[in-house]
A = this chain, B = another copy of it.
Amino acid sequence: MKSFLPILSWGRSYDRSALSNDLMAAVIVTIMLIPQSLAYALLAGLPAEAGLYASIVPILLYTVFGTSNALAVGPVAVVSLMTAAALSTIAEQGTMGYGVAALSLAGLSGVMLLAMGLFRLGFVANFLSHPVIAGFITASGLIIATSQLKHVFGIDAQGHNLLELMLSLAEHARQTNWITAVIGVAATAFLFWVRSGLKPLLQRIGVAGAVANVMVKTGPVAVVVATTLVVWGFGLADHGVAIVGAVPQSLPPFTLPDLSPELLGQLLIPAFLISIIGFVESISVAQTLAAKKRQRIDPDQELIGLGAANLGAAFTGGFPVTGGFSRSVVNFDAGAQTPAAGAFTAVGLAISALALTPLIYFLPKATLAATIIVAVLSLVDFSILKRSWGYSKADFAAVLATIVVTLGLGVEAGVSAGVGISILLHLYATSKPHIAEVGQMPGTEHFRNILRHDVITDPAIVTLRVDESLYFANARYLEDVVQKRVARDPAIRHVILQCSAVNDIDLSALESLEAINQRLWEMGVTLHLSEVKGPVMDRLQDQHFLEAMTGRVFLSQYEATQAIALQTASRRKA
Contact = CB atoms under 8 A, between A and B. Distances in A.
A130 B390 contact: no
A543 interface: yes
A543 B123 contact: no
B123 A472 contact: no
A488 to B, nearest CB: 8
A432 interface: yes
A392 B507 contact: yes
A429 interface: yes
**Copies of this chain, tallied across the complex:** 2
Given A129-B508, A428-B123, A472-B422, A523 B392 contact: no
A390 B292 CA distance: 46
A52 to B, nearest CB: 33
Given A291-B523, A296-B487, A483-B291, A391 B543 contact: yes
Contacts of A543: 391
Contacts of A130: 472, 475, 507-508, 511-512
A239 interface: no
Interface in A115-164: 123, 125-132
A56 to B, nearest CB: 30
Nearest to A448: B534
A476 interface: yes
Nearest to A423: B427
A507 B291 contact: no
Given A123-B432, A392-B539, A503 B504 contact: no
A552 to B, nearest CB: 21
Interface in A510-539: 510-512, 515, 518-519, 522-523, 533, 535, 539
B127 A473 contact: yes
A126 B472 contact: yes
A290 to B, nearest CB: 8
A152 B500 CA distance: 56
Interface in A353-392: 387-388, 390-392
A294 interface: yes
B129 A506 contact: yes
A471 B291 contact: no
Chain A: interface residue count, which band?
35 or more
A294 B487 contact: yes
A422 B511 CA distance: 16
A467 interface: yes
A300 to B, nearest CB: 10
A446 interface: no
B472 A127 contact: yes
A391 B487 contact: no
Interface in A408-459: 422-423, 426-434
A27 interface: no
Contacts of A469: 430, 468
A522 B292 contact: yes
A480 B291 contact: no
Nearest to A518: B291
A287 interface: yes
Contact of A483 (B123, B296, B429): B296
Given A129-B506, A129-B507, A294-B487, 20 more contacts: A123-B428, A126-B472, A126-B473, A126-B477, A129-B508, A131-B507, A291-B515, A291-B518, A291-B519, A291-B523, A292-B522, A299-B480, A391-B539, A391-B543, A395-B508, A423-B423, A426-B472, A467-B535, A468-B469, A501-B503
16 contacts: A125-B476, A126-B472, A126-B475, A126-B476, A129-B506, A130-B475, A287-B515, A288-B519, A291-B515, A292-B519, A391-B539, A395-B508, A426-B506, A434-B503, A467-B535, A501-B533
